[in-house]
Amino acid sequence: MPIETVSENKSHGGTQGVYRHRSRETGTDMTFSVFVPEHDAGARLPVLWYLSGLTCTHANVTEKGEYRAACAEQGIVFIAPDTSPRGDEVPDDEGYDFGKGAGFYVDATQEPWSKHYRMRSYIESELPDIVGAHFPVDMARQGITGHSMGGHGALTIGLRNPERFRSVSAFSPIVSPLACPWGEKALGGYIGQDRAAWREYDAVALIEDGAKVPDLLVDQGTCDGFLEEQLKTHLLREACERAGQSATIRMQEGYDHSYYFISTFMAGHVAWHAKALKV
């Protein structure tokens, strides 16, 4: 599983790198970033995955997320994949909310998307194998977080794989693609019109169907322009209450959907994950 080093920079005593490899799942080159904090020789460190939102690449959080100081303090490796396959051979859509930059962390079943849009398998299976082979990580201690579409990805991947992820959090997540325009467009296009098949990609539906993790942490800004139509945080709160799923869901007064919001609460999320990952 060879990887190419795109760049490496020293930061907070550790190394911030960007890497590229040929993906068997997407059939394309994929780029991801990894921050490895300073550590003792031979040490294996816990891992925090961060999944980005619509229109983003690995670069958004890498450049604006302000996670490195917290990860250096806590001794956590931070991994940021891309949101979708890229390249001239990859089909796309005119809208920002479908196609490149909008992989939605699903394995597409519909043509022409099914050949390349396999972000679920890429995140759940392929990239962890690559990270485990090339970086000083302890894959028995993994947490996952993400923003918006990536918050949807973090919640659903975490709920589907509770044996793998010790901690799950999200910033401004799409909590129920079954109940919002972004989700209906993405899942209808990638998966087809059988809405029952969408449930494994919907955090609210997964919780209703019995999925459970030890705890959830969600931060959501009250001035987020997508809150009412697309994100619908209250649906997650209600589903957790009905199912007895432990969850801390915080409505942060005055914050929007941007990285100004994410960077404000990032260190708190890293510290929250660290408590679970250091056990």
The answer to whether 174 and 153 have CB atoms below 8 angstroms apart is: no
Residue 69 token pair: 């100081």
DSSP collapsed to 3 states, 191-238:
HCCCHHHHHHHCHHHHHHCCCCCCCEEEEEECCCCCHHHHHCHHHHHH
Q: 82: how many CB neighbours lie within 10 A of its CB?
A: 26
Question: Which member of 147, 169, 224, 269 is catalytic?
Answer: 224
Active site residue 257: yes
Active site residue 12: no
Active site residue 82: no
The answer to whether 26 and 122 have CB atoms below 8 angstroms apart is: yes
Question: Which member of 58, 147, 152, 257 is catalytic?
Answer: 257
Q: Is the peptide bond before 112 cis (omega within 30 degrees of 0)?
A: yes
Question: Which member of 148, 167, 172, 176 is catalytic?
Answer: 148
Positions marked active-site: 148, 224, 257
